Structure 1
Amino acid sequence: MSSIELRAVEKWFGDVQVIKGVDLAIEEGEFIIFVGPSGCGKSTLLRMIAGLEETSRGQVLIDGRDATAEAPSQRGLTMVFQSYALYPHMSVRENMGFSLKAAGVAKSEIVEKVDRAADVLKLGDYLDRRPKDLSGGQRQRVAIGRSIVRDPTAFLFDEPLSNLDAALRVEMRYEIAKLHRSLQATMIYVTHDQVEAMTLADRIVVLEAGRIAQIGSPRELYERPANLFVAQFIGSPKMNVFPADAASGPGLPQGAAQIGVRPEHITPVDPGAGMMDGVVDVVEYLGADTYLIVDCAGAGHVTVRVEGDTEVKPGATLGLAFAPGKLHAFDAAGHTIRD
């Protein structure tokens, strides 16, 4: 296992700065996930840690050692990419052991390490197959196994599940979570999928335009976002945000320019009995839940999460009551106003 620290790291491509002075300390055995919109710099930052991108300024430390100028092969890290990049003419066993063979490791040691990794990843029955005979999830497990056999100091994952369908992504999230518990290894993971981030991470790093917007546990980011960007990025459906003067009633924070409330913290009531009224525009039935998209005039469209068997129909007029203590207040600059 390895601790990793970034000290004021920057990345420039010509005159364009894409990473803007990032400081981050990752403890041994942590599962850290980078999230953010496209172009925020999350994959670039991961590649800087791996040594695949040069660090323009600042330092990358691995176990306290300055690794900024080290080649990727010297850092003791391993990376799993979105593409499986398996050799089609090799068996699963040969794919997993290839890097060890190229490094001159003894055959008996290669067999031992591949068998151990295959046992962890439940690939023992597939070691003699070729990649074309495997499912997408199995191929990704082989790619992960290829990393495990190298005994890295940390694992780096760059959107490893984005090529899989929805069912396989759920399965592989489970497998990666089990792998982290089993290996107790440091893992840094990039994804655009916040469900992956919320379910896998010890801490999430939210990036915005090359800077860290907030770092925290999934619960901290969801319940106490530092600013409007994090509040609306974390959570699905996203937090409702509207001008503070669009609502009325007790419990509204004072001095706020904008108010935020999550869909599950809104209850439909009789018109006039809540903090705002609106007309149901769309009803989205999802089984256990139903989302009501309510047109609330000055507040815009507000999403309300209710029980799946709701009787509410499009065109109905509702009052919307907000759960006490669940409102988020933001100043004119988008910063959270704390109580």
Structure 2
Amino acid sequence: MASIELQAVEKWFGTIQVIKGVDLKIEEGEFIIFVGPSGCGKSTLLRMIAGLEETSRGKIFVGDRDATSEPPSKRGLAMVFQSYALYPHMSVRDNVGFALKAAGEPKEVIAQKVDEAAHVLKLTDYMDRRPKDLSGGQRQRVAIGRSIVRDPTAFLFDEPLSNLDAALRVEMRYELAKLHRSLASTMIYVTHDQVEAMTLADRIVVLEAGKIAQVGSPKELYERPGNLFVAQFIGSPKMNVIPATAVGLGETAKDFGVRPEHITIVPAGQGDIDGVVDVVEYLGADTYVIIDIENGAGQMTIRDLGDAAHQPGEKVGLKFAEGRTHLFDADGLAIR
């Protein structure tokens, strides 16, 4: 286990710069998640840490060691890919232990490490099966087990759950959280799924166009976004944003933001702003009410109780929770 530090790292593909001077310190044992829209550079940055992509400029440290020019095999890192990349003709036991066998480890050492990994990942009953006889979640656990036996300095995960169905993703999130607690290893994880980021990460790194938009705990990013991009990227449904002038706050701010759960529907004329119900989406425990704001200021989504009774065309007022609103300047930076 070791810390990993990026110092002003850049990545160029010819004349195109995809990573634009990233500085980041990842502490020992920390679970860090890279999120951002497609093309923001999150997988490229992970591959640079792994050594699978050359670092054009800057430095990468693994512990106290400058690993910038080291090949992947020398960095002591283990990478788990989106595809399981298992050997179909080998048993689970042989797949998990393959890297140790290739490295010439004694058979008794391989057996011990494979059995320990199988116990941690609940694969003990499947060790003699082949990959085709396993579910998607079990195959992903085998791929993780293959990394565990190497006792790496850190684990790197590149969208490992994206091939799983919704139910298995929930199960594997739970398993990964438990795995991190039991191993206490440094983990860096790339995903486009913010639910994975919010539930798994110690800290989230939000990337935008090759730069870090903000770094912080899930709670920090959700409650105190530093800019408009993070405010609308983190959270589902996303933060409502309308012109600040629509709520009488346009002197220093350009945009006003408030999350769907921080709005209460009240009778028209009794809130901070009025609107007309456009769409009502019943989801069971919650109902999302989409409101057309008066004077053409845009739309807002309100998260209400599941049994809330609202009808399209109904005129309502919206009351914003005190201390839960956000203002952004003309550059998209948070004012408060």
**What residue in structure 1 maps to residue 269 of structure 2?**
272
1:314 aligns with 2:334: no
The CA distance in 2 between the partners of 1:213 and 1:311, in whole Å, is 39
1:282 aligns with 2:253: no
CA shift for structure 1 position 301: 1.2
Alignment of 1:17-166 (within 5 A): 17-166=17-166
Q: Any idea what SS the aligned residue of 1:292 has?
A: strand
The CA distance in 2 between the partners of 1:198 and 1:333, in whole Å, is 26
CA shift for structure 1 position 172: 0.2
Alignment of 1:227-238 (within 5 A): 227-238=227-238
The CA distance in 2 between the partners of 1:122 and 1:317, in whole Å, is 55
CA shift for structure 1 position 256: 1.2
The CA distance in 2 between the partners of 1:141 and 1:313, in whole Å, is 47
Equivalent pair of 1:243/1:299 in contact (CA under 8 Å): yes
Equivalent pair of 1:253/1:329 in contact (CA under 8 Å): no
1:263 aligns with 2:248: no
Aligned length: 335
The CA distance in 2 between the partners of 1:133 and 1:275, in whole Å, is 59
Q: Any idea what SS the aligned residue of 1:6 has?
A: strand
CA shift for structure 1 position 299: 2.3
Give the partner amino acid of 1:265. Answer: H
Give a deviation string over 1:133-184, Cα, whole Å, max 9, x none: 1000000000000000000000000000000011000000000000000000
Alignment of 1:148-187 (within 5 A): 148-187=148-187
Q: Any idea what SS the aligned residue of 1:319 has?
A: strand
The CA distance in 2 between the partners of 1:328 and 1:149, in whole Å, is 47
The CA distance in 2 between the partners of 1:165 and 1:121, in whole Å, is 19
Q: Any idea what SS the aligned residue of 2:222 has?
A: helix
CA shift for structure 1 position 315: 1.8
**What residue in structure 1 maps to residue 299 of structure 2?**
301
Q: Any idea what SS the aligned residue of 1:54 has?
A: coil
TM-score (norm 2): 0.98
The CA distance in 1 between the partners of 2:219 and 2:130, in whole Å, is 42
Give a deviation string over 1:75-125, Cα, whole Å, max 9, x none: 000000000011111000000001110110111111100000000000000
Residue identity over aligned pairs, in percent, reads: 78
Q: Any idea what SS the aligned residue of 2:68 has?
A: coil
**More moved, 310-319 vs 220-229:** 310-319
Unpaired segments ≥5 residues, structure 1: none
Structure 1 residues 181 and 253 mapped into 2: Cα distance closer, same or farther (>3 Å)?
farther
CA shift for structure 1 position 254: 5.8
**More moved, 292-301 vs 279-288:** 292-301
Give the partner amino acid of 1:17. Answer: Q
Give a deviation string over 1:282-337, Cα, whole Å, max 9, x none: 11111111100111143211000000011112221111110011110000110000
Q: Any idea what SS the aligned residue of 2:256 has?
A: strand
The CA distance in 1 between the partners of 2:195 and 2:208, in whole Å, is 18
Give structure 1 regions of 4+ aligned residues with deviation exceeding 3 angstroms.
none
Unpaired segments ≥5 residues, structure 2: none
**What residue in structure 1 maps to residue 322 of structure 2?**
324
The CA distance in 1 between the partners of 2:251 and 2:261, in whole Å, is 23
Give the partner amino acid of 2:224. Answer: R
Give the partner amino acid of 1:296. Answer: I
Give the partner amino acid of 2:112. Answer: E
| RMSD value, Cα | 0.9
Give a deviation string over 1:246-278, Cα, whole Å, max 9, x none: 124xxx586211100000000000111112111
**What residue in structure 1 maps to residue 2 of structure 2?**
2
**More moved, 31-40 vs 305-314:** 305-314
